Amino acid sequence: MNWSKTVTLVEAHAEGEVGRIVTGGVITVPGATIADKIKHLNEVDDSLRRFLVFEPRASAQMSTCLIFPPTRPDADIGFIILQGDKAHAMSGSNSICLTTVLLETGMLPMVEPETIVRIETASGLVTARATCRNGKCERVELTMNPSYAHLLDAVVEVEGYGKVKLDIAYGGIFYALIDPAQLGLEIRPDQAKKLVEAGSAIHRAVNAQLDIAHPEIDVIKGISYTMFNSFNAAGELKGATIMPPGRIDRSPCGTGNSARLAVAAARGLAKPGDRFTARSIIDSTFEVTYASDTTVAGRPAVQPIISGRGWIHGIHQIGVDPSDPYQLGYSVADTWGDAFDLMN
């Protein structure tokens, strides 16, 4: 074996969504801040993301996360999420995976019954409170980024679907939030392909027709994902986040439900102290709490808290032979989805 690069990852999932944490082999990414590092990955050199995310060393249904020493004094760890399209600023499910991995592997000290981990993201500081017992991280509660409704009841013209009504909201990244009923769809595993096709088409339309940017964070602009929102028979939140180039988040989605909470607050459908159960397409759950009111650049906003569980399920070492023609990997539409135009 003659590898020119070796990377070690600890693999975990948060309520079904796989997040691999790189624990060795990546020395640094240029940039003075986490936002600078994301900009480098997305605009200057994408080779590390491609190596870590694409086949044959990974697969469509997972994220791979980079960790760094923090660049701000009030944080314990710096964090970037790599996915099929680009590097992203924030993810709730991956933050749960990160916290679980850091504590259960001893990378950060575990304190029972509760350990606090302060995570530096490009969208701001996220505080994780981990409930710990007998060396196990049993549950992680995330104080998310302040979240706000950007546009309510926007209408876009979507090729193949006509006019579609949606909301645009920020939950650490931007989402287009859509009721699937207007398209004759339901959030069920057997409709996953139809949801992906519709969500990708809507994503294209939003990119072309709406101007979306965070008022204070330059690196966050445009929607990251579309998310279909509905309710189950018990009145619980049901959601399916569509991730380019064409897959569904297996978890209920932390940033997506933060955005959804902001829209509910803007419509007067949620108030501080309210708590909701959110379910994914595979019926896994997060708890979503409206902790308090706040503001983002003078806009009314909410402070969400997302709670869920994570489990470590593997340790993985990957590398590359210098003669390998696929050192930066590949993606094929049979499993990755065919919305390659939405990739960075």
Residue 122: strand, helix, or coil? coil
Give the model's pLDDT for residue 344.
Answer: 80
Give 254-264 pLDDT, tens digit per residue: 999 999 999 99
How far apart CA 281 and CA 238 sit, in angstroms, is 7
Q: Where are the alpha helices (DSSP H) in the chain?
A: 34-43, 47-53, 92-104, 192-209, 254-266, 333-336
Mean pLDDT estimate for the chain: 97
Residue numbers annotated as active site: 91, 253
Which of 137, 148, 144 lies closest to 97, judged by CA? 137
At 2, the pLDDT band (50, 70, 90 cuts) reads confident
Give 103-147 pLDDT, tens digit per residue: 999 999 999 999 999 999 999 999 999 999 999 999 999 999 999
Query: Over pLDDT 90: what percentage of the chain?
Result: 97
Write out the two tokens for 163. 């006019």
In one letter, which amino acid is 8? T
Query: Over pLDDT 70: what percentage of the chain?
Result: 100
Give 160-208 pLDDT, tens digit per residue: 999 999 999 999 999 999 999 999 999 999 999 999 999 999 999 999 9
Directed axis angle between helix 254-266 and helix 92-104, to 10°?
Answer: 140
Give 212-247 pLDDT, tens digit per residue: 999 999 999 999 999 999 999 999 999 999 999 999
How far apart CA 236 and CA 233 sit, in angstroms, is 7
